[in-house]
Structure 1
Amino acid sequence: MSAPQIVWLRRDLRLADQPALHAAAQAGPVIPVFVLDEARAGDHAYGGAARVWLHHSLDSLARSFGSRHSRIVLRRGDAPQILAAIAAQTGARCVHAIRHYEPWWKEAEDELRDALGEDAALELYDGNYLLPPGAVTTGSGDPYKIYTPFSKSLLERMPPRDTLGEPGTISSPEAWPESDDLDDWNLLPTDPDWAGGIRDFWHIGEGAAQERLAQWSESVAEYDEARNLPSEDGSSRLSPHLHWGEISPAQVWHALKGRRGQGWQTFAKELIWRDYAQNVIDQFPDYARTGYREGYDEVWRNPNRGHLIAEDLRAWQRGMTGYPIVDAGMRQLWRTGWMHNRVRMIAASFLVKHLLIDWRHGEQWYWDCLVDADYANNGVNWQWIAGTGVDSNMFVRIMAPLTQSAKFAAGDYIREFVPELAHLCDADIHDPPDGERGNYPARIVEHREARERALTAYRDSRGE
């Protein structure tokens, strides 16, 4: 029997169109390994909602491997050292893995090469993005920093590579390394079990991702308009499946590329945005922690320096700001681990501009609460809305949440997630009259006051 081949799994939890698994299966017996390396990412270790998704995704993938008379080896600790030890124990001559661009994973890949030494090789493959970061460059060969020219350049190189089917055969090694039990990792909350909303809202795993794509593909033509309407099910809801690699963007692109109309064109640009975000963190590894543009430190109100500011942050987190569209979004986030894309922008803008709280507090809250929390997307999106990014919205453009709510017909969405207001008619629910609020809180700041405060803080930070 040929030497075993290790497949290092991270955010690539699928059998089909999995280049690392495909190559390993052709080379010899396959040992799939997932290492829960929680310390490496520091403040971007898996958040609470992400841990729930990871548990169920690994469970689903393990059952898929089991149906092929294979299994996943689960270990916890330092990934490079554990993988090198398994390679030495089993005589594996190669570790196959899909490239990842988070700074801690790039560091781990370098460490693994050193740990393997001359005894085994590390082979990395592209497969989580339409094109690998660094592949799309300017005429001078430099990586793009701005989304629009990046998008145009990438579109010229589409469609993406052909997809791969599941391996025809996944051979097993003569002996399996020891494995942890998934339940012993305690990824699921128990006391209390707050994840019921996530379980009710989502089907998790590779099969669920394919089912969602097939279901939503019938609606993609309406996506350009429907994506902005929180009360309708117009979002693809593919983001967590894409983040965890239960489906690849190449699979999505090839499934939808024949669709005509603005809906597909708009969705294609959002797939490209995923690639753009990875290109940003490949250039600026600390992007989700450090603002690209200087001069904003004096703008923010720091929750660590005053209890009133901390109370504002807490009200935003709990969905108790007195702005129904903001609160509906924050409560949807807590209940389901996801938030409608239009409402994500409204809620994020409210934190950094109405409350003048540093975007990094919002980035960390989304990181802990989102099942699709992605280091690149989360950081790039927060810096875009805060005006601090390499490519970002101007800080002085301040979204009006009450206007946004009415414009995008969010009434039924508010009724679902802010039941205190469910009795209100469409004319009142976006901006409830004082006498109709019941137990729902008053606005913690008025829009006009917040707007003037934000503009003044911005001007003062620039000495105007």
Structure 2
Amino acid sequence: MSHALVWIRRDLRLADNPALRAALEAGHAPIFVYVHAPQEEGDWSPGAASRAWLGRSLLAFESRLVEHGASLVVLEAASDDALASLAARVGAVAVYWNRCYEPASIARDKQVKMRLRDEGLEARSFNGALLVEPWQVHTGEGGPYRVFTPFWRKASGLLADPARWTPPARLPALPDAISGHEHGPRAIEALGLGPRLDWDAGFWKRFEPGEAGAVELLDAFIEGAAGSYLEQRNLPDRAGTSRLSPHLHFGEIAPWRIVDALRRAGFPKGAQPQVDGYIRELGWREFSHHLLFHYPDTATGNLNPRFNDFDWSDAKEHAAALEAWQQGRTGVPIVDAGMRELWQTGWMHNRVRMIVASFLTKNLRLRWQHGARWFWDTLVDADLANNTQGWQWTAGTGADAAPYFRIFNPVTQAARFDTRGTYIRRWCPELADLPDKALYAPWEHEDERKLRAPSWPAQPVVDLKASREKALAAYQRTTASR
């Protein structure tokens, strides 16, 4: 039987894996290979939290392969060199992989495909990550969309229903040409992806990286929050969202399996709008990839050029405020709760992500890129497309963005969405004894703060009202100059 390499990247699953399926249907014995080459990600090599997740996800994938009689080959080299060399050594006739859509990955994959074909190998890539690929959706004029609603209306009409695919119970073992040190858990652990200190310990109390963890979370979501998603998704004190984002990023579950499972779940008619609301959120993920593909410079630059001349605060002069934001000690309870949740769990509730992003870009008036970089390093679901789109949306600089004059008030947001104060008290235990009336803005209740939360700052790092007015004034100067 001929061999085909199945190049594993962010598709760490066996079920619904188009590259694996293609290899088997072509009659090849698949050899699974992961090439560790973070330098090929350009300026966006995985951050610390992503590396920690990747290490565990690779181990989970290896364990799944072993259950099926196979194992994962692990190499460290330039991808084209590693794949060409391995193919020659094992006599492979083809290399299959599932596509990545970041600018650096696209450039790298083109180079790999050319190199492999020059070597006489069949080289094919597949869609293993998206419901609709970026080039499939275009306006009537043939261009990309910059507004979500018409994009999703068009994309929804293009959605195929890929059948769920289950791999065979047994997969071929590795050929003898693969040495023992090149595969298995030791080869993965040798990559050194985990942190030197166990600062990530809190991540794994909330998440289980790997295909099994993704399926378990999806089942829990369907049985629990999915039927009331629109009502619960904005409440950070409860499990009202799926928390599948890191599993989607690492390809531990296919998005179409999620959609299919939701549609097959048999929700009552009255709950269907709730489920559709969640599927629409998956649409935002698709929109983010659409934008990054068509506007690759937006990972670092404003999509809306108007903001290239915006009066942002000087980062050096406000370094202390930026550090306070990063460390969750701004003195604004909901902001600090969110940043501490991020640090301790590698994840943050989406409503709170918008609040902390608004605080950074509007109240502190620091460039959104500072926040995007911090999230990139600390989120286990750090995805370049989603991260870029989310930050540009909140900053008002991107496609379909929130108007710049929409400034989240962290006090009223907290009172509205953390009505019992459970979320703030969990992540800011210094405030646990404050009564609700003082919890959201302790600086307005000085006697209570001194008595029940003496370690909490007397004032936040910035005056919310004054900073809002300065942000609006800066916005008005920007619009007046155009």
TM-score by length of 1: 0.96
Moved over 4 A (4+): none
Paired position in structure 1 for 2:326: 317
Question: Is 2:254 the counterpart of 1:248?
Answer: yes
* Kept in 2: contact 1:16–1:167 (CA 8 A): no
* Kept in 2: contact 1:159–1:253 (CA 8 A): no
Paired position in structure 2 for 1:362: 371
Question: Is 2:311 the counterpart of 1:299?
Answer: yes
Deviation at 1:173, TM superposition (A): 4.5
- Name stretches of at least 5 consecutive residues in structure 1 with no aligned partner: none
Where do 1:190-229 residues align within 5 Å? 190=196, 192-218=197-223, 219-229=225-235
Q: For residues 392 and 289 of structure 1, what CA distance do their matches in structure 2 show?
A: 16
**Bigger Cα displacement from structure 2, 155-164 vs 60-69:** 155-164
Q: Deviations over 1:297-349 (max 9, x none)?
A: 4321131x32xx00010000001111111110000000000000100000011
Q: For residues 286 and 78 of structure 1, what CA distance do their matches in structure 2 show?
A: 24
* Kept in 1: contact 2:68–2:169 (CA 8 A): no
Paired position in structure 2 for 1:429: 439
* Kept in 2: contact 1:25–1:167 (CA 8 A): no
Q: For residues 45 and 175 of structure 2, what CA distance do their matches in structure 1 show?
A: 34
Number of residue pairs aligned between Structure 1 and Structure 2: 459
Deviation at 1:171, TM superposition (A): 1.8
Question: Is 2:451 the counterpart of 1:439?
Answer: no
Query: Which of residues 404, 410, 413 in structure 1 aligns to 2:413?
Result: 404
Secondary structure of 2:32's counterpart equals: strand
* Kept in 2: contact 1:15–1:167 (CA 8 A): no
Amino acid at match of 2:65: F
Query: Which of residues 449, 456, 465 in structure 2 aligns to 1:448?
Result: 465
Where do 1:63-462 residues align within 5 Å? 63-116=63-116, 117-158=118-159, 160-178=161-179, 179=182, 181-190=187-196, 192-218=197-223, 219-258=225-264, 259=267, 260-296=271-307, 297-303=309-315, 305-306=316-317, 309-409=318-418, 411-432=421-442, 433-435=445-447, 436=449, 437-441=453-457, 442-462=459-479
**Bigger Cα displacement from structure 2, 230-239 vs 112-121:** 112-121
Secondary structure of 2:39's counterpart equals: coil
Deviation at 1:60, TM superposition (A): 0.4
Amino acid at match of 1:284: Y
Deviation at 1:148, TM superposition (A): 0.6
* Kept in 1: contact 2:90–2:175 (CA 8 A): no
* Kept in 2: contact 1:220–1:264 (CA 8 A): yes
Q: For residues 199 and 434 of structure 1, what CA distance do their matches in structure 2 show?
A: 38
* Kept in 1: contact 2:132–2:159 (CA 8 A): no
Secondary structure of 2:173's counterpart equals: coil
Root mean square deviation, CA, Å: 1.5
* Kept in 1: contact 2:35–2:77 (CA 8 A): yes
Q: Deviations over 1:414-462 (max 9, x none)?
A: 1110010011222221112223141112211121101111011222234
**Bigger fraction of residues in helix:** 2
Deviation at 1:176, TM superposition (A): 4.3
- Name stretches of at least 5 consecutive residues in structure 2 with no aligned partner: none
Q: For residues 80 and 275 of structure 1, what CA distance do their matches in structure 2 show?
A: 28
Q: For residues 166 and 395 of structure 2, what CA distance do their matches in structure 1 show?
A: 41
Secondary structure of 2:136's counterpart equals: coil
Deviation at 1:288, TM superposition (A): 1.4
Q: For residues 222 and 120 of structure 2, what CA distance do their matches in structure 1 show?
A: 47
Amino acid at match of 1:272: G
Secondary structure of 1:257's counterpart equals: helix
Q: For residues 362 and 350 of structure 1, what CA distance do their matches in structure 2 show?
A: 10
Amino acid at match of 2:120: D
Q: For residues 304 and 372 of structure 2, what CA distance do their matches in structure 1 show?
A: 17
* Kept in 1: contact 2:407–2:468 (CA 8 A): yes
Q: For residues 85 and 74 of structure 1, what CA distance do their matches in structure 2 show?
A: 13
Amino acid at match of 1:18: N
Q: For residues 151 and 65 of structure 1, what CA distance do their matches in structure 2 show?
A: 36
Paired position in structure 2 for 1:22: 21
Q: For residues 143 and 43 of structure 1, what CA distance do their matches in structure 2 show?
A: 25
Q: For residues 321 and 160 of structure 1, what CA distance do their matches in structure 2 show?
A: 47
Percent identity over paired residues: 39
Q: For residues 161 and 138 of structure 1, what CA distance do their matches in structure 2 show?
A: 24
Deviation at 1:40, TM superposition (A): 1.6
* Kept in 1: contact 2:70–2:174 (CA 8 A): no
Secondary structure of 1:185's counterpart equals: coil
Q: Deviations over 1:156-181 (max 9, x none)?
A: 23453222112354223432434161
Q: For residues 36 and 109 of structure 1, what CA distance do their matches in structure 2 show?
A: 14
Secondary structure of 1:334's counterpart equals: helix
Q: For residues 457 and 142 of structure 1, what CA distance do their matches in structure 2 show?
A: 32
Secondary structure of 1:287's counterpart equals: helix
* Kept in 2: contact 1:351–1:357 (CA 8 A): yes
Q: For residues 347 and 311 of structure 2, what CA distance do their matches in structure 1 show?
A: 29
Where do 1:21-60 residues align within 5 Å? 21-26=20-25, 27-60=27-60
Q: For residues 302 and 93 of structure 1, what CA distance do their matches in structure 2 show?
A: 55
Q: Deviations over 1:144-199 (max 9, x none)?
A: 22111011112223453222112354223432434161112111112x32111112
